[in-house]
Structure 1
């Protein structure tokens, strides 16, 4: 099933956003939404991106503990994903995001960006790692 998707990395201060290509194969960092203090306002910005990029699904990172259990952060992400479901006209799914920020930080450090420049980009890069993981898993699961 090829479809454009948005990947979301929910943070306390920022929301990282990534988008897939139209074939649903490659995730690319898109933008960072600074938290406004209003979940509805933040979700409205995500809805605008869904419309602009004609996304057919939104994939929210689920920060499970390393042992795979749901802690406070995962329950918060699940709760916000439920709120997004009510705000969006497309399916909202969750996908395990363990270690995505570490992977994103490492990739940005290897690219030679300064610490300040990395902090500005890490959330959208983490969103692309989440989305790429989901795209790869979806493609694997759909193969005969």
Structure 2
């Protein structure tokens, strides 16, 4: 079952969406255009304390006028939700609880998107199509922001076929 099925109709239309690939050491960030057709890789944030991570994300939200969020949801291959899924849910709860007041007025819509194998797809793409070593691609944050783009684009494609 697609994780957006339950709440896709609540997704705000005509606003930029932010895609987040939440790793233990980094957060890959992508954004959509306001028509929600195309996802763009934006940057990779090095994780620190939650408050600092949130501040970095809030800066991006303000800069791009973000109105909704897609979090990668790392289901296991058997469709079960493991500890990494709980980490994403915990992040989402903290995110909505601690986001700055001026941003709470904006849409707090958050969708979860099945991100199984997204990093593998991106690593394969980089290996075959980009003239950079896998190690350098990971160290520079390329893999993480491209994974966030892949996650967001999957969600955008899903949303476009259901509106």
Does residue 79 of structure 1 match 2:106? no
Does residue 139 of structure 1 match 2:149? no
How large is the Cα RMSD of the aligned pairs? 1.2
Matches of 2:45 and 2:112 in 1, distance apart?
Answer: 19
Q: What's the counterpart of residue 54 of structure 1?
A: 65
Matches of 2:30 and 2:47 in 1, distance apart?
Answer: 16
Does residue 14 of structure 1 match 2:3? no
State the shift of 1:59 in Å. 0.9
State the shift of 1:70 in Å. 0.3
Using structure 2 for the length normalisation, give the TM-score.
0.82
* Residues 78-117 of structure 1 deviation map (CA, whole Å, 9 limit, x = unaligned): 1111111223423222211111101111111122221232
Q: What's the counterpart of residue 117 of structure 2?
A: 99
Count of residue pairs brought into register by the alignment: 141
State the shift of 1:45 in Å. 0.9
Q: What's the counterpart of residue 45 of structure 1?
A: 56
Equivalent of 1:118 in 112, 119, 137: 137
In the alignment, structure 2 segments of 5+ residues that lack a partner are 1-12
Secondary structure in 1 matching 2:137: helix
Secondary structure in 2 matching 1:141: coil
Secondary structure in 2 matching 1:47: helix
Using structure 1 for the length normalisation, give the TM-score.
0.92
